[in-house]
Amino acid sequence: MTTTKTDALNLGAAVVLLVLPQRPPLLLVDRIEGYTRAPRPTLRAARALSVNEPFFAPDLQTPPVLPRSLVLEGMVQAAGLLQILVTVQRDLEAAGRSADELIEALRNADLGYRLEPGYTPGLGDDIVNAIAGAGYGRVGALGGSQIRFLRHVFAGDSLGFEIRLVRDAGSIIHFEADVDVRGQLVAQGLLTLARVEAILSFR
């Protein structure tokens, strides 16, 4: 498993819901743990799994194993998160603004949802509202390749996603994805997403 150092970026489920269009119970990412834009865009994200999740078998005589299709869906959603962050920072720079405004806006939104000191009303609202208003135009998955599932994932586990942007081929973008549980690799593969041309539109 390749691990890339990321800058700490602790954002909870409320911010993930702002950025991604997916909704529970099929929201397979519930926090962001790290992000770096250079030298290679990389995101760390996670999803805690409770035995109460509707996709686990109700018959507890069988082990509550997460379907592999949902592990893959989590990989795609985490890649979508990374793509959105990269795209919005690019949009900010095209508008003559600082790419760091995105991180400031998301951190401020997280403070507001948690009712913690340091929240500044209105800070970054134009960025956050533009992302939320983009709907499913924010993301576009095309496919995956070399997907390997190495271990089962059970109720009570916490999935860790590391997504790395490895190639921007114009209309499509390629990502590497690793998924771990307690430091053990459980899945990995290559993902391809359609390029999102723009999310933000500033006057």
Q: What is the pLDDT of residue 203?
A: 44
Q: Comparing C-alpha atoms, which of 195, 190, 186 is closest to residue 176?
A: 190
Q: Where are the alpha helices (DSSP H) in the chain?
A: 13-19, 68-94, 100-114, 125-133
Mean pLDDT of 116-131: 95
Q: In the predicted model, is pLDDT for residue 69 greater than 60?
A: yes
Q: Which residues of 4-14 are buried (b: 16+ CB within 10 A; e: fewer)?
A: bebeebebebe
Mean pLDDT of 7-27: 92
Mean pLDDT of 108-114: 96
Domains of the chain by start residue, with CATH: 7-194 (3.10.129.10)
Q: In the predicted model, is pLDDT for residue 48 greater than 50?
A: yes
Count the neighbouring beta carbons within 10 Å of the beta carbon of residue 200.
21
Label residue 41 by pLDDT band (50, 70, 90). very high
Q: What is the pLDDT of residue 3?
A: 65
Q: What is the pLDDT of residue 57?
A: 67
- For residue 147, which phi and psi values (nearest 5 degrees)? -75, 125
Q: In the predicted model, is pLDDT for residue 182 greater than 80?
A: yes
Mean pLDDT of 164-168: 94
Q: Is 9 helix (H, G, I), strand (E, B) or coil?
A: strand
Model pTM? 0.92
User: What order of strands is seen across the sheet that includes strand 42-48?
Assistant: 7-11, 31-36, 42-48, 158-168, 172-181, 184-194, 141-149
pLDDT in tens, 52-64: 898 886 665 577 8
Q: In the predicted model, is pLDDT for residue 44 greater than 90?
A: yes
Label residue 194 by pLDDT band (50, 70, 90). confident
